[in-house]
């Protein structure tokens, strides 16, 4: 919570700058809010900067595929740089999320893999985890599939679940710090 308060304070000029560009670029809210499933199967509203047209979740898949026509121009940049994720610091402050932990999923996918999520959701979801780094270009990977949602459900999500279960069973501050540094490194100096 202390880190999230400090980060929100330091990044407030960035938040304002991004908010202005979102409003200039398209109508609608600055933030995207969506129900995700958190620790002990508790639903919560995740915050992100809005990168798509208003009500995009009602006009397509729950996942985002590279080249998605619902994205706004500023949204492409925010997603590529991962700046759209910054408002999740609010979720950390509220206690819904941690800085590090399994990425939170929507109820549809949690229901499909409920037994796996019994293990995963013993811990708070996080802003970053190992799968965030491994699948940094998830949207482009999904773009190459004939059935993106099917591929996500049958191949990508099970791999993410395995990574999340391994994390949930073996948490350490040292690993969390390494993941934070690795995430920052990938954002600031992407390997690809």
> Tens of pLDDT along 160-189?
999 999 999 999 999 999 999 999 888 887
Q: Is the pLDDT of residue 190 over 80?
A: no
Structure confidence at residue 151 as a pLDDT band (50, 70, 90): very high
* Average pLDDT estimate for 27-54: 95
d(CA 192, CA 189): 9
Asked if 127 and 85 count as a contact pair (C-beta separation under 8 A), the reply is yes
Q: Which residues contact 24 (CB under 8 A, 6 or more apart)?
A: 74
* Average pLDDT estimate for 23-52: 95
d(CA 69, CA 78): 15
For position 108, what pLDDT does the model report? 95
Mean pLDDT of the chain: 92
Q: What is the pTM of this model?
A: 0.90
- Which position has the higher pLDDT, 68 or 155? 155
d(CA 23, CA 14): 14
Structure confidence at residue 88 as a pLDDT band (50, 70, 90): very high
For position 26, what pLDDT does the model report? 87
Structure confidence at residue 133 as a pLDDT band (50, 70, 90): very high
- Residue written as tokens 């491994």? 134
* Average pLDDT estimate for 19-33: 93
């Amino acid at each position: 919570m202390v880190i999230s308060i400090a980060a929100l304070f330091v990044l407030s000029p960035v938040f304002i700058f991004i908010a202005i560009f979102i409003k200039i670029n398209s109508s609608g809210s600055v933030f995207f809010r969506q129900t995700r499933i958190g620790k002990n199967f508790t639903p919560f509203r995740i915050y992100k900067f809005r990168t798509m047209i208003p009500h995009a979740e009602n006009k397509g898949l729950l996942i985002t595929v590279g080249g998605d026509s619902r994205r706004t121009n500023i949204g492409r940049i925010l997603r590529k740089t991962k700046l759209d994720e910054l408002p999740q610091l609010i979720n950390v402050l509220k206690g819904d999320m941690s800085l590090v932990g399994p990425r939170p999923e929507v109820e549809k996918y949690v229901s499909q893999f409920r037994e796996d999520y019994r293990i995963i959701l013993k811990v708070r979801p996080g802003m970053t985890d190992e799968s965030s780094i491994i699948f940094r270009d998830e949207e482009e990977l999904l773009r190459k599939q004939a059935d993106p949602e099917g591929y996500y459900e049958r191949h990508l999500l099970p791999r993410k679940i395995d990574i999340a279960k391994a994390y949930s069973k073996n948490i350490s501050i040292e690993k969390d710090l390494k993941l934070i540094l690795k995430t920052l490194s990938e954002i600031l100096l992407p390997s690809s």
